[in-house]
């Protein structure tokens, strides 16, 4: 599987590795199918995601902006209207 970029729709619920531009070591985040991959508060849209482990939808809580990742301004609304 390849990597995913902020603004793309999450196609499979799971635990994703998060790789930042250069300011931070990688970490993991759990995302639910149908959500939008978030941006990084520091490196913006240069952050990338890679699926590590699929997870059943009912085991994933909805994404909430945290200390590192946040919804990409304008992308979540635009993506939601396009579907």
Q: What pLDDT, on the 0 to 100 scale, is given for residue 57?
A: 87
Q: What pLDDT, on the 0 to 100 scale, is given for residue 75?
A: 57
- For 27, the domain range is 14-82
Residues of the chain with pLDDT under 70: 1, 74-83
Residue 33: inside a domain: yes
- Whole-model pTM: value is 0.79
Residue 48: inside a domain: yes
Q: CA separation (Å) from 72 to 36, 52, 59, 64?
A: 8, 22, 24, 12
Q: What pLDDT, on the 0 to 100 scale, is given for residue 34?
A: 94
Residue 6: inside a domain: no
The predicted-structure confidence for 34-51, as pLDDT tens digits, reads as follows 999 999 988 888 999 999
Look at the chain and report how many structural domains it folds into. Answer: 1
Per the CB < 8 A criterion, the answer to whether 65 and 19 are in contact is no
């Amino acid at each position: 599987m390849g990597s995913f970029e902020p603004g793309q729709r999450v196609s499979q619920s799971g635990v994703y590795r998060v790789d930042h531009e250069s300011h931070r070591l990688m970490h993991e985040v759990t995302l639910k199918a149908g959500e939008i991959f978030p941006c990084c508060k520091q490196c913006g849209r240069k952050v990338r995601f890679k699926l590590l482990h699929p997870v059943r939808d009912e085991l994933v809580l909805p994404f909430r902006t945290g200390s590192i990742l946040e919804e990409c301004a304008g992308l979540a609304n635009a993506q939601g209207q396009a579907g």
